[in-house]
Amino acid sequence: MFSSIRPLVFWPSFLILMGAVVMSYVDLDQFIGSTTTLNSTLLDNFSWLFSLGSLYLLMLALVVYFSPLGKIRIGGEDAKPLLSKIRWFSVTLCTTLAVGALFWTTADPIFHLNMPPVSLGLEPGSAEAAMFSMSALLLHWSFTPYALYAVPSLVFALVFYNRKLPFSIGSSLQPVFGDAVLGKKGQIIDTVALYALVVGMASSLGTGAITLVGGVGEFSGVTSSPFTLGVAISVIVITFVLSAASGLHKGIARLSAINAWLLAFLGLFVFVFGPTAYILAIGTQGLGTYLDNFFQLSLFTGAVTGDPWPQQWSVFNWAVWFAW
Share of the chain above pLDDT 70, in %: 90
Whole-number Cα distances in Å, 206 to 11, 58, 95, 186, 285: 24, 29, 16, 30, 34
Give the length of the chain: 324
Q: Find out whether 128 and 282 touch, Cβ atoms under 8 Å.
A: no
Q: Please determine, for residue 277, whether its predicted confidence score (pLDDT) is greater than 90.
A: yes
Between 152 and 308, the higher pLDDT residue: 152
Give the residue-averaged pLDDT of 49-69: 89
**DSSP letter, residue 103:** T
**DSSP letter, residue 224:** P
As a whole number of angstroms, the distance between CA 160 and CA 6 comes to: 18
Q: Find out whether 60 and 322 touch, Cβ atoms under 8 Å.
A: no
Interval 97-139: pLDDT, tens? 667 777 778 888 999 999 988 878 889 999 899 998 998 888 8
Q: Find out whether 83 and 169 touch, Cβ atoms under 8 Å.
A: no
Q: What is the pLDDT of residue 1?
A: 53
Band of pLDDT at residue 259, cut at 50, 70 and 90: confident
Q: What is the pLDDT of residue 304?
A: 39
Give the residue-averaged pLDDT of 144-164: 90
Give the residue-averaged pLDDT of 204-233: 84
Whole-number Cα distances in Å, 201 to 119, 189, 250: 33, 18, 22
DSSP string, 165-187: --SSTGGGGHHHHGGGGGTHHHH
Q: What is the pLDDT of residue 139?
A: 85
Q: What is the pLDDT of residue 324?
A: 38
Question: Which uninterrupted H or E stretch holds 58?
Answer: helix 28-65
Count CB-CB contacts under 10 A for residue 240. Answer: 15
Q: Find out whether 14 and 6 touch, Cβ atoms under 8 Å.
A: no
Q: What is the pLDDT of residue 92?
A: 84
As a whole number of angstroms, the distance between CA 162 and CA 88 comes to: 20
Q: Find out whether 160 and 171 touch, Cβ atoms under 8 Å.
A: yes
Interval 76-98: pLDDT, tens? 888 888 888 888 888 888 877 66
Interval 294-321: pLDDT, tens? 777 776 544 333 343 333 334 434 343 3
Give the residue-averaged pLDDT of 190-213: 84
Q: What is the pLDDT of residue 271?
A: 92
As a whole number of angstroms, the distance between CA 168 and CA 103 comes to: 31
**Exposure letters 193-206 (e unless 16+ CB within 10 A, then b):** bbbeeeeeeeeebe
pLDDT, mean over the chain = 82
As a whole number of angstroms, the distance between CA 77 and CA 64 comes to: 18
As a whole number of angstroms, the distance between CA 134 and CA 178 comes to: 44
Q: What is the pLDDT of residue 272?
A: 94
Q: Find out whether 213 and 241 touch, Cβ atoms under 8 Å.
A: no
Q: What is the pLDDT of residue 187?
A: 86
